[in-house]
Chains A and B, each alone.
Chain A
Amino acid sequence: MSRHAHDAYDTHESHEGVGGGARRSLAVIGAGPAGLAAALAAAVRGSRVTLIDAGAQAGGQFYRQPAEELGARRPQALHHQWRTWERLRDGLATQIATGRVTHLTDHHVWCVERLDLDEATGFLVHALHGPAQEEPSVVRADAVVLATGAYEKVLPFPGWTLPGVITAGGAQAMLKGGLVLQGRTAVVAGTGPLLLPVAAGLASAGAEVAALVESAGVHHVARHARALSAHPDKLVEGAGYVAELMRRRVPLKARHAIVEAQGDGALEAVTVAALDRDGRVTPGSEQVIRCDTLAVGHGLLPHTDLAETLGCRLEGPAVAVDDEQRTDVHGVWAAGEATGVGGAALSLAEGHIAGCSATARLAGREPDPRAWNAAAKSRARGRDFIASLDAVFAPRAHWAEQVTDATVVCRCEEVPASAIREAVGELGATDARTVKLLTRAGMGWCQGRMCGPAVAGLTGCEPRPSRRPFARPVPLGVLARAGEDLPDE
């Protein structure tokens, strides 16, 4: 998340390749850093872009803005890299004004459909819009950039379903978007670089942050010191958060973990314990911290539903892309967290490259990678840094030992760990899909997005793509009429 990244990319190139014919259209799904960078790069170079996003305003999760009616005169107090946001925001406004970008807000994409026509490949982007998310909307495009972002991974522990326990990203989203805190006293816990800005944000907004609990230890950082030291700007950013937390007297507990959340109907306290070098709880180290909010996260997971439906190849949990950010499905690019979680600067670089590449290829030209040299360098640095971070902040081993049999693992279907352990130990399940069929874990509203990593961990298998046919719930009436819908344009 460099302050300097992305400043280098131009947004002033001439409209090469527009030619005489009608401009080809590009649908960019997601208006976070990756989607905005892709939309701007493509529009500036002559593509007709439809930017489709679920939010009321552009920005995604990283640049989530307070509702305009809240009249925030200094929203940057909740943000980093504000100047980059201003440039993206103003660039989007310019491109909308010139008619090169159409921005569809409050559009929740549930499926991207590939059409195989005579010559060209085309796509139909199916979305729901309106407050009730029941009005269907279809956008036709010649190519697609998937910039669908990520969501939080949370591993279960006793008490994690209590009201008051929220994801770290969720606490930040509610703060940035709604300007609200859940309670007075918060603990921020789990692992990963997101915890620092979340704790700093909650503290600066008036919450008492009773502790920041990080399961990685200083020895994890030391082990990767050389790789990390290649990225001084990122270390400075991290150190800035730490300094802010120290200034606000927030206790930092490295190599500690939450082993239980307690409360009668709502969170009242958490039990924190020290971890040994193997990631096991040190007996006798338990300490109770009173709090009414626990913001917890163990990293992020890429949103890959749309890519999976299109048949794009995944690598691990992320969409696989080539140097141009192309997926292996013709006409489909992907950028940002969907191709591997790596933060805003990396997303901007990937989005820029995707937009440049897509525009050139839509115009029938072979793109010249020299046109995105700066972004490619930023991308290489970003990926290198993330590889180091992932090594430091891997979720601790042995987390499952604290998951009691009574702990609810699947929040939607209320499946306890005992049922999953029975499916594995007595019924012979060896993969998450069999566990799902035997226990209903992952069959509920969220379709396993929240419990997937936990079920995989308790089952002892690798998390696998879930192949959800729809990225969001769709009313049956919309599905029934889907064939009759005509594209918006």
Chain B
Amino acid sequence: MNGKRTPLDLVRAEPGPAYTATFDGAQIAVLPGQTVAAALWSAGVTAWRTTRGTGEPRGVFCGIGVCFDCLVTVNGRPNQRACLIRAEPGDDIRTQHGTGHDETGEGEGR
């Protein structure tokens, strides 16, 4: 939003210093308190899952934890709802492919 008003401007936010997480290995800046979904949106990322069947991209849909479209793998743990889970410093956030269990090898973490 170069030069444009932002939501942070609107509420005159003075967030604490940003910290760093990674999305698919690339560094992204995260404001403290943001969910993984909010952090990814801030970084310009709107899709972080591919569906099990046709491999279509998905991101946030309902935004309140009902639809499960925003599932994501965080620190090796798949099926986290990005709209509910808070981003923490150093988080390793990765695109979830299908059930996300191919990457973890096992049925762990369910």
Contacts and interface: CB of A to CB of B under 8 A. Distances in A.
Contact of A180 (B14, B34, B65, B80): B34
A414 B50 CA distance: 12
Interface in A56-106: 56, 61, 66-75, 77-78
A171 B63 contact: yes
Interface in A447-480: 449-450, 475-476
Given A266-B47, A412-B68, A70 B41 contact: no
A54 B65 contact: yes
B34 to A, nearest CB: 5
Contacts of B16: 69, 71
A173 interface: yes
A177 B12 contact: no
A317 B56 CA distance: 32
Given A411-B67, A450-B61, A450-B62, A73 B14 contact: yes
Interface stretch (A160-168, A239-247, A253-261, A347-355): A160-168
B59 A179 contact: no
Interface stretch (A116-124, A181-189, A213-221, A395-403): A181-189
Contacts of A173: 63-64, 83
Contacts of B59: 163-164
A316 interface: no
Q: Which of A66, A179, A292, A445 neighbours the largest number of chain B CB atoms within 10 Å of its CB?
A: A179
Interface size class of B (residues with CB under 8 A): 35 or more
B92 interface: no
B43 to A, nearest CB: 10
A56 B84 CA distance: 10
B11 A411 contact: no
Contacts of A170: 60-64, 83
B7 A265 contact: no
A39 B86 CA distance: 27
B85 interface: yes
A206 B4 contact: yes
B66 A75 contact: no
Given A73-B11, A411-B69, A182 B1 contact: no
Given A69-B16, A181-B1, A206-B1, A449 B67 contact: yes
B6 A206 contact: yes
A71 B51 contact: no
Contacts of A179: 6-8, 11, 13, 31, 34, 38
A177 B38 contact: yes
A414 B54 contact: yes
Contacts of B37: 174, 178
A233 B61 CA distance: 32
B64 A151 contact: yes
A420 to B, nearest CB: 16
A180 B7 contact: yes
Contacts of A56: 86
A167 B61 contact: yes
A132 interface: yes
Given A169-B63, A170-B63, A266-B57, A181 B68 contact: no
- 8 closest A-B pairs by beta carbon, nearest first, are A67-B33, A170-B63, A178-B38, A69-B33, A445-B68, A69-B32, A163-B47, A206-B5
28 contacts: A54-B65, A66-B13, A66-B33, A69-B16, A70-B8, A70-B31, A70-B33, A74-B10, A161-B58, A170-B83, A173-B83, A178-B34, A178-B35, A178-B37, A179-B7, A179-B8, A179-B34, A179-B38, A181-B7, A184-B1, A205-B5, A206-B1, A206-B6, A411-B69, A414-B51, A414-B52, A444-B68, A449-B67
Given A180-B42, A411-B67, 16 more contacts: A56-B86, A66-B13, A67-B32, A70-B13, A70-B33, A71-B14, A74-B12, A178-B41, A179-B31, A181-B1, A206-B4, A206-B6, A206-B9, A412-B68, A446-B66, A450-B66
